Amino acid sequence: MIDLRSDTVTKPTTAMREFMAKAEVGDDVYGDDPTVNALESRVAKMFGKEAGLFAPTGSLANQLAIRTLVAPGEELITETNSHIVRAELGAGAVFSGITTRTWPAINGILRADDALEIAKPDSGPYLVSTTAIAVENTHNFGGGSVQDINEIAKLRAESAKLGIALHLDGARIWNAHVASGVGLSEYGKHFDTISVCLSKGLGAPVGSIMLSTSDRIAKARVWRKRYGAGMRQIGILAAAADFALDNNIERLAQDHARAKAIAKICHEAAPKTVDPTEVETNIVALDLTSLNISASELNLQLKSEGILASALGPNFLRLVTHLDFNDNDLDQVTAVLPKLLKRALVAK
């Protein structure tokens, strides 16, 4: 099967597995794993931060970050379809007593004024106070859209005046970096906390890193253990991340090019399903409202042709390219998908 459900489906290469097997390890709960210690320091330096903390998932890295910024009963604001509020199952409320409000944005694209308009810091004893804003880059449900660094800088400057912290959900920040050319440290300097994922486009089997000040990371380490995610000899996993950082960042451009090719062929077959000029990274989001087919129906048809995608709404089908998706796979997808779209368009 050609698997385009997500870039999380990648499998470690033989070279990565061999690199993992050679990793020097120790008990990370005691701080004794040299490989993960080095990885945390390495990624922190890449983004201009003091320290990092390895977490098994991006959701946990996000949750550890926001609980260091937002006290129970205070408010985090973010975009309506952001991962933190749509795909982490209310974790901020369940684990940390954090309340959230959201602003809507086309394709999840940040406009600083949208966030600032609903921010309500220092609201007194009777209303909820906003203490942090979360930005997702790239924006998953926005179709892999890349946030404008100028809007991020504006949000940083204005939120600082209000005493509001910023968190970056950078699960696919590597894709944003490659697509935009903006440096990782340039992104990093605008945020108090950052989460970055290693098991999506970079192809490691598991792992994310939370980044911030040494003090916040020390507090987050306690909460990681409290949540049951204190890990032991995780240098094996950290080694996979090191290999991914060494080998798999620049090649993300290939994923972006293949996603753009899928978008173009879909647009030619059914123009209203996707605008290829808006496909900047490795996610193709198809809007099927103009067709006589639901996302789940199209998903089943693709599966019968040997292609897996994700139906994430009645009319929303997502395809995500990754390092296990090659040019032969691309040829198959661009042969099958337009045929199915044209059939649905005629039926409409």
163-205 tens-digit pLDDT:
999 999 999 999 999 999 999 999 999 999 999 999 999 999 9
Give me the DSSP letters along 257-301: HHHHHHHHHHHHHSGGG--GGG--SSEEEEE-TTSSS-HHHHHHH
For CATH 3.40.640.10, list the domain ranges present in the chain: 12-247
Q: Is the pLDDT of residue 260 over 70?
A: yes
Q: Are 302 and 337 in contact (CB under 8 A)?
A: yes
Using only the alpha carbons of the chain, give its radius of gyration.
20
348 band by pLDDT with thresholds 50, 70 and 90: low
From residue 278, alpha-carbon distances to 144, 241, 261, 281 in Å are: 9, 30, 12, 9
The dihedral through the CA atoms of 99, 73, 161, 134 has a sign that is negative
Closest CA relative to residue 212, chosen from 33, 34, 62, 26? 62
Give the class (CATH, top level) of 12-247: alpha beta
pLDDT value of position 15: 97
What tokens does 172 get? Answer: 């696919």
What letter would DSSP give residue 250?
T
| pTM, two decimal places | 0.96
pLDDT value of position 347: 62
Give the end-to-end CA distance of the chain in Å, rounded to a whole number: 29
Q: Using CA atoms, how far apart are residues 346 and 55, in angstroms rounded to an integer?
A: 48
What letter would DSSP give residue 115?
H
CA torsion angle 17 196 74 165 (round to 10): 150
pLDDT value of position 57: 97
> Which CATH number describes the domain made up of 252-347?
3.90.1150.10
What tokens does 286 get? Answer: 């198809």
For CATH 3.90.1150.10, list the domain ranges present in the chain: 252-347
Q: Is the pLDDT of residue 232 over 90?
A: yes
306-316 tens-digit pLDDT:
999 999 999 99
pLDDT value of position 346: 74
What tokens does 14 get? Answer: 């033989």
Q: Is the pLDDT of residue 61 over 60?
A: yes
Pairing of strands 307-308, 316-320: unpaired
Q: Are 291 and 146 in contact (CB under 8 A)?
A: no
